[in-house]
């Protein structure tokens, strides 16, 4: 049977003056948070001038300040565990731009991947873990930047629950006092992709390669824009403000073509528990609902993600598709990894694509990146390290 | 445990009533269960609906029925199909959150140590151990070909020289193999206190007592270090 292929480019660039109201009558939690602060109920981590904020617009037209400096990196279990180029690319950009930040050992997982997979926690546990990590940023005088979309979604939810429920605040405050901390809540919950989005024109200034022939398909992460949707960035110049603007925005700024595909709204199939213990569901979803539409409808050269679980699921589950006769393959990487790649970051030492399972080499060759040279240098570097050589780090964390 | 012809466990009517009351008393319940037009837009957009016998519309309708018998039919396997993506919540015209309801029902299932929850979570125990004992969910040494053969031959990349490959990552926090990042022991101790106070350890004990024993041994070691 013939496959109908329509290369639907251009929707990403559609502009509109329409402001979403969508019939939703929602309170701006930010205002209520400041009221609680005025009453002395909570402490707030404010975004200050020194954080050099850039303002963005969210789904309902509310303003959200995105801090761009003096940041505390709240890392992701899955990124650090199996996609190390994800956080490294972000730190690489911050070094390029002279951004001040801290990356340290004094951080726990948000524990929300586990919660959504197994149910083995509760709102008090989730909120207490959130406040514990927020307080660590607060005591360092920094603003927390969350790397994982599930952390972002969970922390947005926990912030809302804490603002709306005195009982929860009291219980979390009691636990915080027990561990020598206090109830603090950030003025805004900020995802790294929002930092990338507001910095996209600065990022584009570092571009080294022409991307006009590269077709990207964007997979927006569910927990960025489906959990507490009113607190996610939309832009009237990107998809006419009808889809979240993050990730697509930086791809357009870099000069890539962003192509539409029919299942853009679908999740990746991660399922939190399914990706680990019920993988036949995840891999079927990946191929049937995401990768095949991206390749067959849009001729995608690269799938751009903005989250830990999505990057893992979409990358790791393509090989097994061959068992069903599926030949479609597309490399998968986060927006910040792709941006670093085209801004001259080393393929192996910084973007760390060697950990990915779906072949990314044809993409590098299409862009004009010499990955073979990078591989040779990396292998030589590994030999140096084996012989007792020292790692060349992007950052040294505080020893105390 | 006995099951009916639909594979639903047979339990006393009083327990079914208790379960419904427990869900309804959750402080998030009113936020998640509002009016329902039965329009089905949630199910139309639901990813697991394409692969499982699962429908967020049915979740909402059963909760709205306030019939403990109907609600109980979801407590075994049904609630575990949900992907927790919250597509349903995003697109519901009434701002219901079937995904949120599922989260409440799952919490009840594990808190009460239901056999179905124990069975579903048994293969998940390695992840639970890593998270609760060390403060990270996933570690590089977990990504091995014997556990992920369907991820293709390249997954073996992490099997050889893992420590030197991790050392080559230019972030000191990531230069470990048994954790996603090197969590400080003092930080782990704070997490244990939170888990104690919030009842998280107690939940794990109810759903997997032997795993709980292993976790407590690690916790005791870290606390005494």
B88-127 pLDDT, tens digit each: 999 999 999 999 999 999 999 999 999 999 999 999 898 8
pLDDT the model gives residue B171: 97
Number of domain units in chain B: 2
- Going by pLDDT thresholds of 50, 70 and 90, the confidence category of residue A7 is low
pLDDT tens column, A157-190? 999 999 999 999 999 999 999 999 999 999 999 9
Cα gap A153→A190, rounded to integer Å? 10
Q: Which residue of B has its CA nearest to A179?
A: B190
Cα gap A27→A29, rounded to integer Å? 6
Of the residues A29, A60, A80, A227, the best mutation for testing chain B's interface (the one with the most B CB atoms within 10 Å of its CB) is: A80
Tell me the chain B residues in contact with residue A165 when contact means C-beta distances shorter than 8 Å. 27
DSSP 8-state symbol, A288:
I
pLDDT tens column, A213-236? 999 999 999 999 999 999 999 999
Tell me the chain A residues in contact with residue B44 when contact means C-beta distances shorter than 8 Å. none
Task: Please indicate, yes or no, whether residues A61 and A117 belong to a single structural domain of this protein.
Answer: yes
**Residue in B125, B133, B110 with CA at minimum distance from that of residue B192:** B133
Task: Please indicate, yes or no, whether residues A175 and A231 belong to a single structural domain of this protein.
Answer: no
Burial of A48 (C-beta count, 10 Å sphere; 0-12/13-18/19+): middle
pLDDT the model gives residue A2: 47
**Distance of residue A275 Cα from the nearest chain B Cα, in angstroms:** 10
Cα gap A167→B211, rounded to integer Å? 31
Query: Among the three residues B68, B85, B112, which one is the final residue of a domain in this structure?
Result: B112
**Three-state DSSP class for residue A146:** strand
Asked if B14 has any chain A CB less than 8 Å from its own CB, the reply is no
Q: Which residue of B has its CA nearest to A128?
A: B194
- Kindly state the average pLDDT of the residues B170-183: 96
Residue B100 lies in a domain: yes
pLDDT tens column, A15-38? 877 655 555 557 789 999 999 999
Nearest to A320 among B127, B150, B200 (CB): B150
Query: Among the three residues A160, A192, A224, which one is the final residue of a domain in this structure?
Result: A192
Instruction: Confirm if A261 and A297 have CB atoms less than 8 A apart.
Output: yes
- Kindly state the average pLDDT of the residues B62-85: 95
Q: Which single residue is written with the structure tokens 């390290």?
A: A385
Percent of chain A with pLDDT over 90: 89
Task: Please indicate, yes or no, whether residues A163 and A273 belong to a single structural domain of this protein.
Answer: no
Terminal CA-CA length for chain B: 43
Instruction: Confirm if A73 and A91 have CB atoms less than 8 A apart.
Output: yes
Domain limits for position A306: 208-380
Residue A123 lies in a domain: yes
Length of chain B: 225
Query: Among the three residues A161, A192, A223, which one is the final residue of a domain in this structure?
Result: A192
Task: Please indicate, yes or no, whether residues B128 and B154 belong to a single structural domain of this protein.
Answer: yes
- Going by pLDDT thresholds of 50, 70 and 90, the confidence category of residue A247 is very high
pLDDT mean across residues, chain A: 94
Task: Please indicate, yes or no, whether residues A50 and A96 belong to a single structural domain of this protein.
Answer: yes
Task: Please indicate, yes or no, whether residues A150 and A224 belong to a single structural domain of this protein.
Answer: no
- Residue B87 confidence (pLDDT) above 60: yes
Asked if B25 has any chain A CB less than 8 Å from its own CB, the reply is no
Task: Please indicate, yes or no, whether residues A136 and A94 belong to a single structural domain of this protein.
Answer: yes
Residue B220 lies in a domain: yes
Tell me the chain B residues in contact with residue A124 when contact means C-beta distances shorter than 8 Å. 197-199
**Distance of residue A212 Cα from the nearest chain B Cα, in angstroms:** 31
A222 and B87: CB-CB below 8 Å? yes
Cα gap A23→B95, rounded to integer Å? 10
Residue B3 lies in a domain: no
Asked if A263 has any chain B CB less than 8 Å from its own CB, the reply is no
Asked if A118 has any chain B CB less than 8 Å from its own CB, the reply is yes
Q: What is the dihedral of CA A62, A157, A67, A33, to 10 degrees?
A: 70
Number of domain units in chain A: 2
Domain limits for position B59: 13-112
Q: Which residues contact A34 (CB under 8 A, 6 or more apart)?
A: A44
Residue B108 lies in a domain: yes
Per-residue burial over A235-263, b = 16 or more CB atoms within 10 Å of its CB, e = otherwise: bbebbbbebbbbbbbbbbbbebbbbbbeb
Residue B1 lies in a domain: no
- Going by pLDDT thresholds of 50, 70 and 90, the confidence category of residue A400 is low
Q: Which residue of B has its CA nearest to A322?
A: B152
Task: Please indicate, yes or no, whether residues A158 and A290 belong to a single structural domain of this protein.
Answer: no
Task: Please indicate, yes or no, whether residues B34 and B108 belong to a single structural domain of this protein.
Answer: yes
Task: Please indicate, yes or no, whether residues B78 and B144 belong to a single structural domain of this protein.
Answer: no
Tokens linked to B145: 């070909």
Cα gap B168→A138, rounded to integer Å? 31
pLDDT mean across residues, chain B: 94
Task: Please indicate, yes or no, whether residues A91 and A223 belong to a single structural domain of this protein.
Answer: no
**Which of A324-328, A330-334, A371-375 shows the lowest mean pLDDT across its residues?**
A324-328
Task: Please indicate, yes or no, whether residues A141 and A252 belong to a single structural domain of this protein.
Answer: no
B110 and A397: CB-CB below 8 Å? no
Residue A348 lies in a domain: yes
Asked if B165 has any chain A CB less than 8 Å from its own CB, the reply is yes
Task: Please indicate, yes or no, whether residues B57 and B28 belong to a single structural domain of this protein.
Answer: yes
A81 and B200: CB-CB below 8 Å? no
What is the side-by-side strand order in the sheet with A257-258?
Answer: A257-258, A215-218, A302-305, A332-334
pLDDT the model gives residue B5: 81
Tell me the chain B residues in contact with residue A87 when contact means C-beta distances shorter than 8 Å. 171, 174
Task: Please indicate, yes or no, whether residues A274 and A343 belong to a single structural domain of this protein.
Answer: yes
């Amino acid at each position: 049977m013939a496959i109908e292929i329509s290369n639907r480019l251009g929707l990403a660039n559609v502009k509109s003056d329409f402001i979403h109201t969508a019939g939703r009558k929602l309170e701006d939690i930010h205002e209520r948070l400041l009221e609680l602060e005025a009453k002395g109920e909570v402490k707030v981590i404010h975004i200050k001038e020194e954080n050099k904020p850039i303002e963005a617009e969210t789904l309902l037209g509310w303003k959200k300040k995105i801090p761009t400096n003096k940041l505390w990196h709240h890392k992701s279990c899955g990124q650090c565990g199996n996609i190390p180029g994800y956080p490294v690319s972000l730190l690489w950009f911050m070094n390029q731009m002279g951004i001040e930040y801290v990356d340290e050992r004094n951080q726990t997982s948000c524990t929300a991947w586990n919660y959504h997979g197994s149910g083995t926690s509760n709102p008090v546990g989730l909120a207490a873990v959130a406040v514990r990590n927020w307080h660590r940023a607060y005591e360092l005088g920094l603003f927390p930047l969350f790397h994982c979309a599930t952390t972002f979604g969970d922390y947005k939810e926990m912030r809302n629950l804490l603002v709306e429920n005195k009982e929860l605040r009291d219980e979390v405050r009691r636990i915080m006092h027990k561990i020598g901390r206090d109830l603090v809540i950030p003025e805004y919950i900020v995802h790294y992709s929002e930092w990338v989005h507001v910095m996209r024109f600065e990022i584009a200034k570092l571009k080294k390669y022409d991307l006009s022939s590269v077709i990207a398909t964007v997979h927006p992460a569910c927990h960025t824009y489906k959990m507490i949707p009113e607190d996610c960035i939309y832009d009237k110049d990107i998809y006419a403000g009808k889809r979240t603007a993050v990730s697509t925005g930086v791809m357009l700024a870099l000069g890539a073509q962003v192509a539409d595909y029919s299942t853009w709204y679908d999740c990746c199939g991660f399922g939190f528990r399914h990706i680990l213990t019920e993988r036949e569901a995840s891999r079927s979803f990946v191929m049937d609902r995401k990768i095949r539409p991206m390749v067959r409808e849009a001729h995608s050269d690269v799938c751009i993600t903005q989250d830990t679980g999505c990057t893992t699921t979409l990358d790791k589950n393509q090989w097994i598709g061959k068992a069903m006769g599926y030949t479609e393959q597309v490399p998968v990487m986060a927006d910040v990894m792709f941006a670093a790649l085209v801004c001259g970051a080393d393929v192996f030492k910084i973007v760390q694509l060697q950990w990915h399972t779906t072949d990314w080499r044809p993409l590098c060759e299409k862009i004009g990146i010499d990955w073979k040279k990078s591989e040779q240098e990396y292998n030589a570097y590994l030999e140096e390290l084996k012989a007792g050589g020292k790692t060349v780090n992007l950052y040294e964390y505080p020893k105390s | 445990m006995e099951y009916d012809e639909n594979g639903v466990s047979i339990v006393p009517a009083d327990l079914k009533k208790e379960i419904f009351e427990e869900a309804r008393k959750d402080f998030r319940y009113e936020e998640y269960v509002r009016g329902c037009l039965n329009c089905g837009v949630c199910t139309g957009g639901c990813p697991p609906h394409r692969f499982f016998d699962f429908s967020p519309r049915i979740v909402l309708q059963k909760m709205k029925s306030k019939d403990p018998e109907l609600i109980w039919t979801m407590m075994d396997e049904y609630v575990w199909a949900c992907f927790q993506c919250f597509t349903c919540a995003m697109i519901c015209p009434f701002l219901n959150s079937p995904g949120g309801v599922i989260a409440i029902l799952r919490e009840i299932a594990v808190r009460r140590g239901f056999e179905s929850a124990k069975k579903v979570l048994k293969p998940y125990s390695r992840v639970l151990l890593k998270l609760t004992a060390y403060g990270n969910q996933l570690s590089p040494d977990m990504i091995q070909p014997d556990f992920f053969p369907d991820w293709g031959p390249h997954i073996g990349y992490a099997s050889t020289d893992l420590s030197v490959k991790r050392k080559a990552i230019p972030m000191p926090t990531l230069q470990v193999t048994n954790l996603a990042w090197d969590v400080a022991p003092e930080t782990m101790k704070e997490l244990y206190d939170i888990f104690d106070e919030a009842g998280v350890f107690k939940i794990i004990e109810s759903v997997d007592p032997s795993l709980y024993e292993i976790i407590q041994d690690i916790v005791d070691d870290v606390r005494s270090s």
